[in-house]
Structure 1
């Protein structure tokens, strides 16, 4: 997906409309996000099952919620919807049959909590999976609300604002303060909810692409270590691997410093040796200005 610009436009088109679920194509610039809206657990189970990685890869998922404000003062009630946005791209992956087209690409689920006596177990497992990293610009708030109202826990969360400076415009208040508890969401609400989760996904995936390699990391240890490094999620095996690696790097640095002292103490003529200065390792935690961009307003 290309970086958003001031000219980036969004639109929405209804693909399928059923009592149990609705499917939309949300278009943002040149990107189409196949978006499923439902409150039916069996449909959620099917969607989550198709999005789960079939191999040892780690998936990045944009996460967000919407709620209905009690008043214009911003008093919040419980979350009305839960949104996931990710990219389905694994070869041989079983495609979700209800999205009228399937295939690889951007996928979004908007789950409605309305009339939900119990949160589908597939969502519980999805949020708790070690193969999924969930990202949002307001992760602390989302985690608190999901825990408070639905006893849901996010195992591997990222608050992307800790690592990227993002200047985002004000969202349309008429949509933000609309009735998110109604049985059938309006297309404008669906687009709003989808783009919320999409932006979180794009921020994180572009950040990881810039500083840590491709969006989808092919080695579990690599991203498990990163999640621990970023979010303080401690896995004993990963912690031990990281500790041993750090000790080895420190020993290598000490040896290099010793070798350098020997070289510079000798009398040498120009051209006898070349000294190449190594780049400093990128420090993701302390470096706060790695990436900055601005999203256009939602029309």
Structure 2
């Protein structure tokens, strides 16, 4: 997740480039192991790109249109023959702009969702309406949404747009649990990718703090190339890390145990706290029933 710092009409600048129609079909390779290809930027309702990360190509749809969001969700459901008992893993992230004068956060500007090698980037700014099907998708308890700091993202989605995420797993605490560690629960996504996958997630510096609410003002508000890549890779990396961790076996009781005193404080036992009992517990509950690793995709 990210928040751009905006001071009045001035925004932090960065050396970014808009997407050029002339590059359609041409694959642009980068030294950090990523690549970028314009598939279609002439459609009024959405733009399509191929974002490369190591050996993977993620088909990325960028849109402010509810109808395109509906199509993406319908295609995802159609591709699932049977929902895994541990939940269908989907990466989730958000982007927004924060006002510097008051430190008040604006509403979410961009929502990223990723399943397998399909990524959706939905632009709340400029959208015709918020898709009802998107709300149903996020509240589907058969799906476990994963991300770094996802509980805060889910709360902001609810506050800003009344979108309820029914089931989520925060990757930091989940990594601690599955890896038998106690030092990852507050780490960012870049660190988690290195620790869990042994890979490096590229970062685009100031692009994280860019204006997600207007995109490229010289290109009719469409997101810049670097914004598309950053948004896509954060959601895709969340999906990859989540898949790896959720399908790992639970640690043995000798490796990971609570004292009786600590156990009594768990939210699901005391009904204390604001976090729903099915959030942050989906993977642990399912895997404790002896389920083996399954490929959600």
Aligned equivalent of 1:116: 127
- The structure 2 residue matched to 1:201, chosen from 232, 239, 250, is 239
TM-score (norm 2): 0.60
> Which whole-Å CA distance do the structure 2 matches of 1:194 and 1:151 have between them?
24
> Which whole-Å CA distance do the structure 1 matches of 2:32 and 2:124 have between them?
31
* Within-5 A mapping of 1:280-291: none
- C-alpha deviations, 1:73-128, integer Å up to 9, x for none? 975321100000112xxxxxxxxxxxxxxxxxx10000000133531011101101
Aligned equivalent of 2:212: 180
Distance 1:40 1:118, change over 3 A: closer
SS at match of 1:135: strand
TM-score (norm 1): 0.60
Higher mean C-alpha deviation, range 132-141 or range 53-62: 53-62
Aligned equivalent of 2:47: 22
**CA RMSD in angstroms, aligned pairs only:** 3.2
> Which whole-Å CA distance do the structure 1 matches of 2:157 and 2:89 have between them?
19
* Within-5 A mapping of 1:205-216: 205-211=243-249
Q: Kindly indicate whether residue 272 of structure 2 is the aligned counterpart of residue 233 of structure 1.
A: no
> Which whole-Å CA distance do the structure 1 matches of 2:101 and 2:244 have between them?
35
Aligned equivalent of 1:44: 69
Q: Kindly indicate whether residue 97 of structure 2 is the aligned counterpart of residue 107 of structure 1.
A: no
* Within-5 A mapping of 1:32-181: 32-52=57-77, 53-57=80-84, 58-71=87-100, 76-87=105-116, 106-116=117-127, 118-164=129-175, 165=184, 168=190, 171-181=203-213
Larger of the two Rg values belongs to structure = 1
Distance 1:74 1:196, change over 3 A: farther
- C-alpha deviations, 1:27-63, integer Å up to 9, x for none? 0000000000001111110110111234343420000
- C-alpha deviations, 1:198-230, integer Å up to 9, x for none? 111111101123326xxxxxxxxxxxxxxx999
- C-alpha deviations, 1:131-188, integer Å up to 9, x for none? 2110011112101211111011100111111121356269434201111112200111
Higher mean C-alpha deviation, range 74-83 or range 56-65: 74-83
SS at match of 2:73: helix
> Which whole-Å CA distance do the structure 2 matches of 1:80 and 1:192 have between them?
14
List structure 1 runs of 4+ shifted beyond 6 angstroms.
228-231
Q: How many pairs are equivalent?
A: 202
**Gaps in structure 1 of 5+ consecutive residues:** 1-6, 88-105, 213-227, 247-280, 282-299
SS at match of 2:247: helix
